[in-house]
Amino acid sequence: MFEVQAFRPTSLRRRVLIAVLAVVAVGVVMFFILRPVKPVPVNLIPEPRRCQEGQTTGCVGGKAMVISAPAPAQAPALAPSGAAR
């Protein structure tokens, strides 16, 4: 039913190819791990403008417009559970 095939070892050319690919993969990984990291600039976002005399909006320390939500509605009182219908 099933025929057992004889073991065929890989050829020298295939083994060299596998070894070269493994060395290249290790080299790429080590390159990305060991490369120097560039320093991050300290101030990427400019400092916000301070308010001028008399200015109330569009600056740090200005007036904020706040909208307050109305109070929640009262829940209707429930009838006692023993009440007749």
Task: Give a yes or no: residue 53 inside a domain.
Answer: no
Full residue range of the structural domain in which residue 25 is found: 10-37
Is 74's pLDDT higher than 80?
no
On whether the CB atoms of residues 60 and 51 are closer than 8 A, the answer is yes
Distances (CA, A) of 60 to 10, 51, 66: 72, 6, 16
Residue 14 lies in a domain: yes
How does residue 11 score in pLDDT terms, banded at 50, 70 and 90? very high
User: What pLDDT does 79 receive?
Assistant: 66
If one counts the domains in the chain, the total is 1
pLDDT band with cut points at 50, 70 and 90 for residue 26:
very high
72 domain residue, yes or no? no
Higher pLDDT, 28 or 59: 28
Return d(Cα 27, Cα 15) in angstroms, integer: 18
Query: Does 25 fall in a domain?
Result: yes
18-22, 32-36, 52-56: segment of lowest average pLDDT: 52-56
Flag whether 17 is in a domain: yes
